[in-house]
Amino acid sequence: MAVSAMTTTDKQMDGLPLAQVSPARKHSSDGFGFWLLLLPALIFFIAFFVVPTASLFALAFNKSVAGVITLSSAITFDNFVRIFTRAIYYEAILRSVGIAAMVALVCLVLGYPLAYVIAKTVNPGRNTLLMILVLSSMQLDMVIRLYGLMVLLGDNGLINGALIRMGIVSQPLPLMYNIFGVVVGLVQIALPFMILSLIGIIKSIHPALEEAARSLGASRTRAFFSIVLPLSMPGILAGTLLVFALAISSYVVPALMGGWKVMVMPIHIYQQVAETGRWQFGAAIAVVLFVTSLMAIAVYHRAAMRTTGGRS
């Protein structure tokens, strides 16, 4: 009754009877309301993303001068030439993409089974407990979590200490200050995002589809790979892209877990901006990182769309 009255009131504009309200006028009113709701987020996005990013892009085409951050009308490509002609920088690009891809793959392999279990758990208590376990790691600060990993993986940490005491190894294993340590740190940070991206998609797959495959003679494994996995590809795509973006742009994890020995693009950006004060060159590296990330995401998205037959 209340819904009917609300609908009638919305359609009676300016005192006109319900039958005399034109469709065009109603559509105009709905469109105005849509943009009014969107306006605060749009202003925030433009002010705190578009404007700073555009300024950074413009600064990248200025001559690199220490301590100067004002925009100049003189355009130069020297910063980009330096990036692609020095091995330390273009190797960092390849290293950043490789580490991000590795982290996304590991998160997918570790996160999909847990997401599947959570999505298929019918008992509300168990489902809530599993969700709390996934979300609890996100409640701690990233630096605190990384220092916990350093205690675990260090040369005198719990793992190496236990292995040496049991006589399995005589020297500490190199678990930190290398690519392995960076990948472990990034997986620990990004894994909940992968799991949360997959849970909703797996839940939306109707159980009758899998049961129909089983009734036609398919084994549980074949039904999973034929029905569940293809239908969950949108979640896999979303989670993988999210984890990739988080990993390729991370600075704190390579700095702490890599010990400044794993030189990725964010490390170079920090060095140029904070240590040498060359904002223009740091901005150029940031532009290359941004474009590289977009290109890698576009290539993966195209490959995934071909694999899934166009589902997104």
Over the stretch 34-49, which tens digit does the pLDDT of each residue have?
788 889 999 999 999 9
Q: Is 2 domain-assigned?
A: no
Range(s) of the domain holding residue 117: 77-308
DSSP assigned state of 271: I
Q: Which amino acid is at 298?
A: A
The predicted-structure confidence for 162-213, as pLDDT tens digits, reads as follows: 999 999 998 999 999 999 999 999 999 999 999 999 999 999 998 888 888 8
Q: Is 105 domain-assigned?
A: yes
Q: Is 63 domain-assigned?
A: no
Q: Is 48 domain-assigned?
A: no
Q: Is 178 domain-assigned?
A: yes
What span, in angstroms and rounded, lies between the C-alpha atoms of 187 and 140? 15
pTM: 0.82
Which CATH number do you get for residue 94?
1.10.3720.10
The predicted-structure confidence for 226-250, as pLDDT tens digits, reads as follows: 888 989 988 998 899 999 999 999 9
- What's the structural domain count of the chain? 1
pLDDT for residue 199: 94
Q: CB neighbours of 281 closer than 8 A, spacing ≥ 6?
A: 64, 79, 82, 272
The predicted-structure confidence for 58-112, as pLDDT tens digits, reads as follows: 999 999 888 888 888 889 999 999 999 999 999 999 999 999 999 999 999 999 9
Q: Is 229 domain-assigned?
A: yes
Q: Is 301 domain-assigned?
A: yes
Q: Is 15 domain-assigned?
A: no
Buried-exposed string 48-59: b where 16+ CB fall within 10 A, e elsewhere: eeeeeeeebeeb
Judge contact between 114 and 134, C-beta under 8 A: yes
